[in-house]
Amino acid sequence: MLNKVPEVTLFFWIIKVLATTVGETAADYLSVDLGLGLTATTYVMSALLVVVLVVQFRARRYTPSVYWLAVVLLSIVGTLITDNLVDHFGVSLETTTTLFAIALAVTFAAWYASEKTLSIHTIYTTRRETFYWLAILWTFALGTAAGDLLAERLALGYWKSAVLFGALIALIFVAWRFAKLNEVLAFWVAYILTRPLGASLGDYLSQPKADGGRGLGTTTTSFVFLGAILCVVIYLSRTERDQPAIAAPERYDVAER
């Protein structure tokens, strides 16, 4: 089995931000604009996610179309988890942010205790891939809660929140590039921050001008960003520029995979 996660290139981060934006706007588009409601949208998207993850886990190597479809669906489902807790169960954004941060920390702790690494360059067993996708889900849910908390509850506004999270990501890059910040730590911190960045960007573009947005609507924003994701994924599928090259060591037998 080859590594199931793409190489971390510029394309990786471009699609990641696009996917996080879609996660924010598509959830609103399906539940509000199409009238499915929050509950029905959650059931439908969760079912689709399960199907795609089954295909992803059965694959023996990284496949751009399957992998990034899973990321997009996880982004949507992560958003819906937060929305359900806040809108249906009345859980505050402060509480959801704290809970998801704890869930992510516990996942990382269990992952490291089991595998002695959190590197995405060695996702070549089923156990490691399970930890990986669970961590991704929590980053999306956490990012949604933290982004909404900052932009709405603390009234910072959408574009200011996007600028803030973008600046933090730039700071992480500088620390990794010039101050020798640990590569794995830098990756996961940046990965977590891209979620509220994408959420703030999506809200800024889609929400009405009266609410601090640009008024493009969730329909236009979702389809434009989905189209952009599709174009980049097609490019990567043809060029294979992000294909990982690490195979599993022989000590990992079939049972472990």
Task: For residue 256, name the pLDDT band (cuts at 50, 70, 90).
Answer: very low
> Tokens 């009238």 label which residue?
35
**Which residues lie closer than 8 Å to 186 by C-beta, 6 or more apart?**
172, 173, 175, 176
Share in percent of the chain as helix, strand, coil (round to 5): 75, 0, 25
> Which region among 124-128, 180-184, 218-222, 247-251 has the lowest average model confidence (pLDDT)?
247-251
Q: Give the global pTM.
A: 0.89
Q: Are 200 and 161 in contact (CB under 8 A)?
A: yes
Model confidence pLDDT, tens digit, residues 176-199:
999 989 999 999 999 999 988 888
| Domain total of the chain | 1
Task: For residue 129, name the pLDDT band (cuts at 50, 70, 90).
Answer: very high
Is residue 248, in this structure, part of any structural domain at all? no
Q: What is the pLDDT of residue 33?
A: 84
Q: Which range marks the domain in which residue 148 is found?
A: 10-227+234-239
**Which residues lie closer than 8 Å to 106 by C-beta, 6 or more apart?**
none
Cα separation of 98 and 8, whole Å? 28
- The number of angstroms, rounded, from the C-alpha of 102 to the middle of its chain's C-alpha atoms is 17
Instruction: Find the mean pLDDT for residues 92-105.
Output: 94
Instruction: Find the mean pLDDT for residues 39-65.
Output: 94
Average pLDDT, the chain: 89
Is residue 250, in this structure, part of any structural domain at all? no
Cα separation of 242 and 230, whole Å? 15
Is residue 3, in this structure, part of any structural domain at all? no
Is residue 186, in this structure, part of any structural domain at all? yes
User: Which stretch of DSSP H or E encloses residue 12?
Assistant: helix 10-28
Q: Which tops the pLDDT comparison, 52 or 155?
A: 52
Asked if the model's pLDDT at residue 246 lies above 70, the reply is no
Instruction: Find the mean pLDDT for residues 122-148.
Output: 92
Cα separation of 220 and 29, whole Å? 10
Is residue 106, in this structure, part of any structural domain at all? yes
Task: For residue 255, name the pLDDT band (cuts at 50, 70, 90).
Answer: very low
Asked if the model's pLDDT at residue 254 lies above 50, the reply is no
Cα separation of 36 and 42, whole Å? 9
Tokens of 141: 């849910």
Q: Which tops the pLDDT comparison, 207 or 233?
A: 233
Is residue 59, in this structure, part of any structural domain at all? yes
Is residue 256, in this structure, part of any structural domain at all? no
